[in-house]
A and B are shown apart, each in its own frame.
Chain A
Amino acid sequence: MTDPERDPHNGGHVTEDDLILLQYGEAPHPQAIDAHLRVCPACRAAQAEIRATLEAVNAADAGEVPDRAAGYGAQVWARIEPRLSGGRLAWLRLPAMPSRRWALAAVLIVMLLAGFLAGRLSRTEPEMPSGPISQEARDRILLLAMTGHLERAQAMLAEIANLNGVAHDAPQAPGSPPGVDISSDRDRAADLVAAGRIYRHSASRAGETGLELLLDELERILTDIAHAPSEITRDELHAIQKRIEDRGILLKIRAIGSQVRQREKERRAYTGRIAI
């Protein structure tokens, strides 16, 4: 305490900062501050107010932090254990993610499986094996689902990239920049973010680095759109469009999507040759 006005030795009031440190037992000269407090009603009142504030924090906290069940630690372990262990199937296990989204993820996976099986049956291909679904089939389901996801993201970003920033029907106030309603794009972006995370984790575990990086980049831009206001200014729209353009994200989606489709085509050709 070198500032004379802040130094109790000089008869100045104790600063709020020092009173806070005193409260936490970290004041540099606690005896000097205590001595000042004994003779200074103003500083004593300030100290009492700080103490009451911190007690109020405790009171607010007491009912605020929700309890976890006794088995919470075991639950945490069950959720993270698949991500800690290695092994060939590890990447297919669902990642630790918000439990609110587990339901969505489960629904998504069931839909993917149902869609895949329906497609197989409708093509009058050989009878489905009755055993558990194979590793290859799982890979294909995820790969095909990712292709669809990328196509939806591409379509949405292309729409944003082509928005002209002219206000919708509302008359423009003189001198104010027109707003652009992106509320529907925002909702679509939020859906794509939730699904994209599942695919990104899967790609990561499959060692599909290019796909993972693309999905990560895509997630960032989609998250920004999902959290944007429903109506953005023309400048904000241009900033998003510039980001899409600068990063060449549409081009990358097209390139990766094309690679995925090509791999699927080659696989089918190979499977066909084996069948012959």
Chain B
Amino acid sequence: MSRMGGDEASFVARARTGDAEAFRVLVEEHSHRLFRLAYRIAGNEQDAEDIVQETFIKAHRSLARYDDRATFGAWLTRIASNQAVDVVRARRRGGERVEAQDPDDPDPVDRLAETDAGPERRLLSVEVTRRVSHAMSRLTPNERAAFVLRHHEERSIAEIGAMLRLSENATKQCIFRAVRKMREALRPLAAHGWPERGARES
């Protein structure tokens, strides 16, 4: 439950005067959300945790420049998104690929086996999930960030452009390419009944 009681602005104002306790409350308030954002862009827990920490450190250093035009949460989202893009970019420069799935995670087949769906349907669901994860891991850093911000964070294209320092058209193209790549990844499954008939006709 939020410790700020809806009065985030006063905590931000106090943090700007050097009140460490106020900044601590802001950190505790936004950490979970930023972790989810960072994980979706970076694709692994380790980088996501680093991104969250670096985001708050950068925010603390830049508190004087925060101008209230965006909410504090949106401002943190902007810092975290750019930090995540930098991390993914650096990793790609180093020749690393984003792993679609931690090999230590439970096999998705095991998770889905507990559902009541028939075996073919479950297998198809597993394959859909696998293909989506793989397609996500192959997006460029900007495509991934723009898509995550639009799809999961529900930010507008104009907001995303401002956050990632991209033009509106470039932001749109990032999102279009991301969706197209995922659509292409799933297209081979059409022969196996994906999407389901109900979804096709709704």
> Can you name the residue of chain A whose Cβ is closest to the Cβ of B181?
A53
Q: Please indicate which of the listed interface residues A53, A59, A74, A80 has the most CB atoms of chain B within 10 Å of its own CB.
A: A53
Chain B's interface: helix, strand, loop or mixed, by majority?
Answer: helix
Rounded to whole angstroms, the CA-CA distance of A107 and B157 in the bound complex is: 47
Which listed residue, B30, B53, B186, B194, touches A96 by the CB 8 Å rule? B53
Q: Which residue of A lies closest to B202 (CB)?
A: A48
Q: Is A20 an interface residue (CB 8 A)?
A: yes
Residues of chain A contacted by B103 (CB below 8 angstroms): none
Chain B residues whose CB sits within 8 angstroms of the CB of A73 once the complex forms = 27-32
Within 8 A of B (CB), among A91-146: 96-100
A63 to chain B, nearest CB (A): 6
Known: A65-B40, A73-B31, A227-B94. A80 touches B56 (CB 8 A): yes
B32 touches A68 (CB 8 A): yes
Interface status of B200 (Cβ within 8 A of chain A): yes
Q: How large is the interface on A (under 10, 10 to 19, 20 to 34, 35 or more residues)?
A: 35 or more
Q: Give every chain A residue within 8 A of B128 (Cβ-Cβ).
A: 56, 59-60
Q: Which residue of A lies closest to B95 (CB)?
A: A227
The residue from B30, B39, B93, B111 contacting A63, defined by CB atoms under 8 A apart = B111
Asked if residues B95 and A56 are in contact (CB atoms below 8 Å), the reply is no
Taking the complex as formed, is B140 at the interface, i.e. its CB lies under 8 A from any CB of chain A?
Answer: no
Chain B minimum-CB-distance residue to A64: B133
Q: Which one, A81-89, A177-185, A210-218, A256-264, is touching chain B?
A: A81-89
Q: Which A residues are in CB contact (< 8 Å) with B123?
A: none
| B157 CB contacts on chain A under 8 angstroms | 24, 26
User: Does residue A170 face the partner (Cβ distance < 8 Å to B)?
Assistant: no
Give the chain B neighbours of A227 by CB distance below 8 A.
93-96
Residue in A53, A60, A76 whose beta carbon sits within 8 Å of that of B27 in the complex: A76
Q: Check: B60 CB closer than 8 A to any chain A CB.
A: yes
Residue among A21, A60, A80 making CB contact with B57, cutoff 8 Å: A80
Return the CB mask of B37-80 against A: 1 if under 8 Å, else 0.
00110000111011011101100100000000000000000000
- A68 smallest CB distance to B (angstroms): 5
A-B contact pairs, 10 of them (CB 8 A): A21-B172, A49-B195, A52-B200, A54-B151, A66-B39, A68-B31, A72-B32, A76-B56, A96-B53, A98-B46
